[in-house]
């Protein structure tokens, strides 16, 4: 039987489980199930690349939203995350993650302020902290799409 861990300082907990690999489903225990399929398989289903992209895009933009609110700015940021599957030096697979962060320039937000907001968001966002500082992960600030 699984021995659930406890982290006394945690403010939230969720548990994800996959029993089937890339063909079947993964679940958030006692909540939701997600059809899973390899990105190279024509069967419809989500895959780790998509979940990673969604996790980083959502977390980073939510963190930027809180920074905008803290600065009494309207929420205008957007985050796009591209996740690529590629061979690594051992001919195994790796992910290449490119995050593009849109912070439009306004009277209240110049280029320097936008850069400072992104740097703060990267330090605060739990997912960015998890994947950041890796050679296969990039963060790029843009002011328009």
In this structure, are residues 58 and 52 in contact, taking their beta carbons and an 8 Å threshold?
A: no
Residues 42 and 68 in one domain: no
Would you say residue 1 has pLDDT above 70?
no
The model scores a pTM over 0.75:
yes
Residues 130, 77 within the same domain: yes
pLDDT digits (tens, 9 = 90+) for 97-144: 999 999 999 999 999 999 999 999 999 999 999 998 999 999 999 999
Q: Which residue has the tokens 């690529």?
A: 84
DSSP 11: S
Tokens 């195994």 belong to 92
Residue 80 lies inside a defined structural domain of this protein: yes
Domain check: are 36 and 54 in the same one? no
**CA-to-CA distance for 69 and 80, rounded, in angstroms?**
20
* Nearby residues of 40 by Cβ (< 8 Å), 6 or more positions away: none
56 neighbors 131 (Cβ within 8 angstroms): yes
- The Cα–Cα gap between 83 and 99 comes to 9
Number of folded domains in the chain?
Answer: 2
Mean pLDDT of 82-88: 93
CA distances from 87 to 16, 42, 71, 115, 134 (A): 26, 21, 42, 32, 16
For residue 23, what is the DSSP state?
S
Q: CB count, 10 Å around CB of 137?
A: 18
pLDDT in tens, 20-65: 888 888 999 988 999 999 888 888 889 999 999 999 999 999 999 9
Assigned domain for 2 exists:
no
Question: How big is the chain by its Cα radius of gyration, in Å?
Answer: 18
Please report, in angstroms and rounded to a whole number, the separation of the first and last CA atoms in the chain: 50
Here the CATH number for the domain that contains residue 89 is 3.30.300.20
| Residues 70 and 111 both lie in one domain | yes
């Amino acid at each position: 039987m699984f021995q659930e861990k406890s982290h006394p300082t945690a403010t939230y907990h969720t548990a994800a489980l996959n029993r089937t690999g890339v063909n079947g489903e993964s679940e958030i225990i006692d909540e939701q199930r997600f059809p899973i399929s390899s990105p190279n398989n024509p069967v419809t289903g989500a895959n780790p690349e998509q979940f990673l992209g969604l996790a980083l895009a959502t977390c980073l933009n939510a963190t930027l939203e809180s920074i905008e609110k803290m600065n009494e700015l309207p929420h205008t940021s957007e985050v796009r995350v591209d996740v690529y599957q590629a061979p690594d030096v051992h001919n195994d697979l790796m992910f290449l993650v490119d995050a593009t962060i849109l912070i439009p320039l306004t009277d209240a937000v110049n280029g320097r302020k936008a850069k400072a907001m992104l740097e703060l968001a990267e330090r605060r966002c739990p997912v960015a902290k998890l994947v950041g500082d890796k050679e296969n992960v990039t963060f790029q600030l843009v002011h328009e799409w």
